[in-house]
Amino acid sequence: MSRMTALSDPPAPATAPPAAPLPAAGARSDRAVIRDSLGVGVAVGVSGIAFGIAGTTAHLTVWQTCALSLLVFTGASQFALIGALAAGAAPFAAVIGALFLGVRNAFYGLRLGERLELPRWLRPVAAQTVIDETAAVALVQPDRRSTRLGFFVTGASLYLIWNATTLAGALGADALGDPSRYGLDVAGPAVFLALLAPRLREGGAERATALLGAVLALASVPLVPAGVPVLIALAAVPAVLLLGSRRDRERARTTAGPQKDLPKDLPKEGGR
Amino acid sequence: MNTTWLAILGTAAGCYGLKLLGLSVPSGLLDRPVVRRFAALAPVALLAALTALQTFGQGAHGLAVDARAAGLAAAGVAVWRRAPFLVVVVVAVLVTALVRAVA
């Protein structure tokens, strides 16, 4: 943690940010980047309390719950693992499901690696904070300096707050006794739904994948061991991709056919 | 060391490895359209499955519609109204608790 802040510390006080942002300037003021980063770090970080509570609800010890936030540090995988373990999944199946959710971080890493241009020795430290939120903040910055600043400030603040609130949530729920009595067992699925929602707004392929995935998972519950239905849901992805590419081909064929639709459709589709 | 700790450490090692992999490999190696498309849709399928399973799952092989479904429906309304993350969770928890208290 101290090594990570060491990188962003020296440049920070060097230049005083201009009082009014210059409209044409490509570089953003450090203060604006830090403000955005802390905003995300704090807002998402406090959700660690939901994970702490969910950990206790899933009958993990406080130590185990905190170890997940410290070591795994990617919310969806953490929730997926404890959910699967609570449902009685074999540890191996539970881990595989959690890892599939973590694959997207590798793709954030690809994008971030290009933009951050970190020295080799720093990569193993920076890797732990390659997640949704740091990618979201860092990848929209206009230059390398603000990309680095956004990445490290978001990552450091989120790591600290997420872990602190995980501990608070786990201890709090532990003191409450049976958390399912208070409805805390829906914290997990509510989190998944909140993570899913922005993806559903992206398009029809996302909605079809979500629907098919949920149906496949529920249908396989009586048939396969716990933890496996989540993996079966992954079959929705190639199914939707195959259907999508077939429909694209058919559309290409039909738009080439009837001549009267051409003038209306072509410029629109070409523009995208 | 029990199996829960093994699962925790396995997930930690795997998730860290995935993060470091992306940061370390030259882009272009993983960056093929098919791989990227799969990686974009896989979390959607998994999150939808997890939402459904943890709302309707009962034990290892059962399904049930109970107070959790009411809580999740409320969360769905909150999500639809673009409520902040924590508000969605709190709404789901409160409605579930309320339905259990009444039932």
- Binned at pLDDT 50, 70 and 90, residue B13 comes out as very high
What average pLDDT does the segment A255-261 reach?
50
Q: What pLDDT is attached to residue A44? A: 82
Q: Does A122 touch chain B (CB under 8 A)?
A: no
Q: What's chain A's average pLDDT?
A: 81
Q: What is the pTM of this model?
A: 0.74
Q: Pick from A112, A189, A212: which is nearest to B23 by CB?
A: A112
Phi, psi (rounded to 5 degrees) for B57: -70, 140
Find the CB nearest B57 among A76, A87, A205: A87
Element spanning B57, H or E = strand B57-58
With CB atoms and an 8 Å threshold, state whether B68 touches A189: yes
- Gap between the Cα atoms of B23 and B30, Å rounded: 11
Q: Is B71 on the interface with A (CB under 8 A)?
A: yes
Average pLDDT, chain B: 89
Q: Closest Cα of chain B to A22: distance in Å?
A: 31
**Would you place residue A272 in the very low, low, confident or very high pLDDT band (cuts 50, 70, 90)?**
very low
Q: How many angstroms separate the CA atoms of A95 and A72, rounded? A: 11
Quick check: A270 pLDDT over 80?
Answer: no
* Per-residue pLDDT tens digits for A166-179: 999 999 988 877 66
**Residue A36: its H or E element:** helix A30-45
How large is the average pLDDT for residues B56-76? 91
Do residues A212 and A243 make contact, with C-beta atoms less than 8 angstroms apart? no
- Is A239 part of the contact surface with chain B (CB cutoff 8 Å)? no
Q: Domain residues of chain A, as ranges?
A: 29-192, 202-255
Instruction: List, for residues A189-229, the tens digit of each pLDDT value.
Output: 888 898 888 889 988 999 999 999 999 999 999 998 888 89
Q: Which of residues 2-21 of B touch A (CB under 8 A)?
A: 3-12, 14-16, 18-21
Which ipTM was obtained for this model?
0.88
Residue A256's pLDDT is what? 60
Average pLDDT over residues A21-30: 57
Inter-residue contact A45 to A17 (CB < 8 Å): no
